[in-house]
């Protein structure tokens, strides 16, 4: 499952947005979806009558967030598939925290809660758990270079921190009940994230989900895993308490998704931006976000306004091309932030590739033009991933790879399938059959993967100038009261 992280600053903004959104709006959102159908109908019949599956979730990397191509996240993808199977539309609403999700269920404002939940006794008071659709390992995380512990007994008298009202907090209480002397601090919504406290030196250890840390390490490269705790936790949906038939339908869907491979496919899609972690690269990207991006973000946003692309996508491409260095030059003569070639510059009307503004705006126009060359029937985000490959290797070579993909019985409109075949363009038995011949096909595959990783990180930074954001996060961590461990 896909992993990202919650920055404390983002969580604070999310809290304000959620408070203004779902519950301040009252029935304007969820209730207009049909909170008051006939009380004589079952939960499943009610949602089919309204034509809407109402899902409450958290705005988190492993659940739901708005990316460059619209809603993203494992729970969003899974809930979308369930809604399609039921023949209804999906209405997904992010709220502040677990308490807000439970309140939405109890007030009849949601049909189910989906946020990587483990159904403990508290959750069972508010709804019916479905069968687990996955197991998530729990990691003890510490600062890189710290001496490793052997097991949880070594945590006695350390500064251990978790999120409040979380599965990790429940797990620690169970460990303490079993006789292990533990103390820890629980961070409420809006407070600094446990991983942020670790980085600031205000905590020694944190317990987090493995899939969350897969992404978090790109943001916090100086943190590392001490050990994996013995028991993974199940993840489930929680259905409204009067929805036994809906829970049964969800269980059938989950079993079918496991048997058909749909669940595995959704997991792979969610993991795509977290792979191939490189410590030095992640460390540099974080520094460049704070130091280089503030001077360029306005240009990226102007380019986005001109082209209709997401500014974070343009920035991610620029970072992969040049590490946001205007003086960058490639072996084939490409120049600047967006590494424009002379041919590309002439094609889009850029007169001076060494001019920062012309380079960024021109590169964005060229990228938008390449995206338009991809057949319109190809859905997003595959259309953009294919366009990025064409941006890197040329549209002709991409078409050769798509033709080869189709010959091999795969889907030429699927980036996952085309990506597997691109490296074959470097093998004679295959490039002899290609219209444009040999290509270093592994390069566009790697290019797209890197851009996706950078984009995933940037999607979790708001449009606040990032130098200010970094300073705000650091000040918040240093100014926050030292957690009490008791």
CATH of the domain at 109: 3.40.190.10
Is the CB of residue 135 less than 8 Å from the CB of residue 233?
A: yes
244 and 157 in a single domain? The answer is no
Sign of the alpha-carbon dihedral angle for 28, 34, 38, 42: negative
Angle between helices 466-479 and 279-291 (to 10 degrees): 100
Lowest mean pLDDT among 48-52, 242-246, 467-471: 467-471
Is residue 287 domain-shared with residue 175, that is, in the same domain? no
Asked if residues 131 and 49 have their Cβ atoms less than 8 Å apart, the reply is: no
> Please, which pLDDT band fits residue 26 given cuts at 50, 70 and 90?
very low
Asked if the structure places residue 315 within a domain, the reply is yes
Instruction: Copy the structure tokens of residue 273.
Output: 């931006």
Range of the domain at 255: 8-135+234-274
Query: 411-421: b or e for each residue (b if 16 or more CB lie within 10 Å)?
Result: ebbbbebbbeb
376 in the same domain as 440: yes
Q: Domain of 328: which CATH number?
A: 1.10.530.10
Distances in Å between the Cα of 328 and the Cα atoms of 146, 219, 229, 322, 391 are: 37, 25, 45, 6, 18
For residue 484, pLDDT over 80 is answered with: no
Q: Are residues 95 and 150 in the same domain?
A: no
pLDDT digits over 310-350, tens only?
999 999 999 999 999 999 888 678 899 999 888 888 989 99
SS3 content of the chain, % helix, strand, coil (to 5): 55, 15, 35
- pLDDT (tens digit, 9 = 90+) per residue, 378-388? 999 999 999 99
**According to the model, what pLDDT value does residue 434 have?**
85
Q: Are residues 60 and 173 in the same domain?
A: no
Residues 239, 380 within the same domain = no
Between these two residues, 437 and 448, which has the higher pLDDT value? Answer: 448
pLDDT in tens, 343-375: 888 989 999 999 999 999 999 999 999 999 999
Q: How confident is the model at residue 136 (pLDDT cuts 50, 70, 90)?
A: very high
- Whether residue 300 is contained in a domain is answered as yes
pLDDT, position 477: 42
Residue 479 lies in a domain: no
pTM value is: 0.65
- Per DSSP bridges, beta strands 52-58 and 112-117 are parallel
446 and 398, same structural domain? yes
d(CA 431, CA 401): 10
What's the pLDDT at 69?
Answer: 61
More confident of the two residues 222 and 274: 222
Residue 429 binned pLDDT confidence (cut-offs 50, 70, 90): confident
Give yes or no for residue 455 having a pLDDT over 50. Answer: yes
Lowest mean pLDDT among 320-324, 443-447, 464-468: 464-468
**Which active-site residues does the annotation give?**
321
Tell me the C-alpha distance between 11 and 173, whole Å: 25
Compute φ and ψ for 5, nearest 5 degrees. Answer: -150, 160
Q: Phi/psi of residue 154, each to 5°?
A: -75, -5
Is it the case that residue 279 has pLDDT exceeding 90? no
Choice among 6-20, 270-284, 401-415, 465-479 with the minimum mean pLDDT:
6-20
User: Tokens 């028991």 label which residue?
Assistant: 231
**Whether residue 31 is found in the same domain as residue 111:** yes
Q: Say yes or no: 337 and 367 in one domain.
A: yes
Same domain membership, residue 284 and residue 262: no
What's the pLDDT score for residue 377?
95
Render 77-140 in DSSP notation, one character per residue.
HHHHHHHHHHTSEEEEEEESSHHHHHHHHHTTS-SEEEEEE---HHHHTTEEE----EEE-EEE
Check whether residue 290 and residue 315 sit in a common domain. Answer: yes
What is the Cα–Cα distance from 461 to 219, expressed in whole angstroms?
11
Assign 41 a pLDDT band (cuts: 50, 70, 90): confident
Cα–Cα nearest to 191, from 447, 6, 51? 6
- Report the pLDDT value the prediction gives residue 258, as an integer from 0 to 100: 95
Angle at which helices 382-393 and 442-459 cross, to 10°: 130
CA distance 56 to 30: 10
In three-state secondary structure terms, 380 is coil
Tell me how many domains the chain contains.
Answer: 3
My answer on whether 173 and 192 are in the same domain is yes
Q: How many CB atoms lie within 10 A of CB 33?
A: 19
Q: What is the pLDDT of residue 278?
A: 58
Q: What is the C-alpha separation between 88 and 100, in angstroms, rounded?
A: 24
Confidence of residue 39 (pLDDT cuts 50, 70, 90): low
Give the span between the Cα atoms of 71 and 186, in whole angstroms. 29
Q: Quote the pLDDT of residue 367.
A: 94
Q: What is the model's pLDDT at position 481?
A: 47
Model pLDDT for residues 90-135, shown as the tens digit of each residue: 999 988 889 999 999 999 999 999 999 999 999 999 999 999 999 9
Query: Which of the pair, 71 or 104, is modelled with greater confidence?
Result: 104
Spatial separation of the C-alpha atoms in residues 194 and 205, rounded to whole Å: 8
Share of the chain above pLDDT 90, in %: 48
Give domain status of residue 339, yes or no.
yes
Specify the pLDDT at position 24: 33
Residue 241 confidence class, pLDDT cut points 50, 70, 90: very high
CB-CB contact of 315 with 322 (8 Å): no
Average per-residue pLDDT in the chain?
82
Residue 413 confidence class, pLDDT cut points 50, 70, 90: very high
Which of the listed residues 253, 274, 295 is the one where a domain comes to its end? 274
């Amino acid at each position: 499952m896909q992993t990202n992280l919650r920055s404390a600053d983002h969580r604070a903004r999310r809290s304000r947005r959620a408070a203004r959104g779902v519950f301040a709006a009252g029935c304007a959102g969820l209730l207009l979806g049909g909170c008051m159908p006939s009380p004589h109908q079952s939960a499943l019949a009610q949602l089919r009558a309204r034509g809407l599956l109402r899902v409450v979730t958290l705005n988190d990397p492993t659940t739901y967030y708005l990316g460059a191509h619209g809603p993203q996240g494992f729970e969003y993808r899974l809930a979308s598939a369930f809604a399609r199977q039921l023949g209804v539309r999906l209405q997904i609403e992010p709220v502040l925290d677990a308490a807000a999700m439970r309140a939405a269920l109890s007030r009849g404002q949601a049909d189910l809660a989906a946020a990587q939940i483990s159904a403990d006794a508290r959750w069972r008071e508010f709804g019916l758990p479905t069968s687990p659709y996955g197991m998530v390992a729990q990691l003890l995380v510490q600062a890189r270079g710290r001496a490793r512990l052997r097991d949880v007994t070594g945590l006695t008298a350390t500064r251990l921190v978790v999120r409040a009202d979380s599965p990790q907090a429940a797990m620690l209480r169970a460990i303490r009940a079993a006789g292990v002397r533990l103390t820890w601090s629980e961070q409420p919504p809006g407070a600094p994230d446990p991983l942020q406290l670790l980085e600031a030196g205000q905590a020694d250890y944190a317990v987090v989900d493995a899939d969350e840390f897969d992404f978090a390490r790109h943001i916090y490269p100086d943190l590392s895993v001490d050990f994996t705790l013995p028991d993974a936790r199940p993840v489930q949906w929680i259905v409204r308490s009067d929805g036994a038939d809906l829970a049964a339908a969800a269980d059938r869907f989950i079993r079918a998704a496991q048997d058909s491979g749909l669940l595995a496919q959704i997991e792979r899609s969610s993991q795509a931006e977290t792979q191939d972690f490189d410590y030095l690269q992640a460390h540099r990207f974080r520094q460049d976000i704070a130091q280089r991006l503030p001077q360029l973000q306005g240009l990226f946003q102007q380019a986005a306004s001109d082209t209709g692309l997401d500014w974070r996508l343009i920035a991610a491409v620029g970072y992969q091309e040049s590490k946001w260095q205007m003086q960058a030059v490639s072996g084939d003569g490409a120049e600047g932030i967006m590494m424009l070639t002379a041919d590309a510059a002439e094609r889009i009307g850029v007169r001076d590739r060494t001019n920062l503004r012309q380079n960024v705006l021109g590169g964005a126009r060229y990228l938008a033009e390449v995206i338009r060359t991809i057949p319109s029937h190809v859905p997003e985000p595959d259309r953009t991933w294919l366009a990025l490959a064409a941006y890197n290797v040329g549209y002709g070579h991409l078409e050769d790879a798509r033709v080869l993909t189709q010959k091999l019985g795969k889907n030429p409109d699927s980036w996952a399938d085309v990506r597997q075949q691109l490296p074959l363009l470097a093998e004679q038995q295959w490039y002899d059959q290609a219209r444009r011949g040999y290509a270093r096909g592994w390069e566009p595959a790697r290019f797209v993967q890197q851009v996706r990783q950078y984009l995933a990180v940037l999607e979790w930074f708001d449009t606040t100038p990032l130098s200010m954001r970094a300073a705000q996060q650091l000040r918040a961590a240093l100014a926050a009261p030292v957690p009490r461990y008791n």
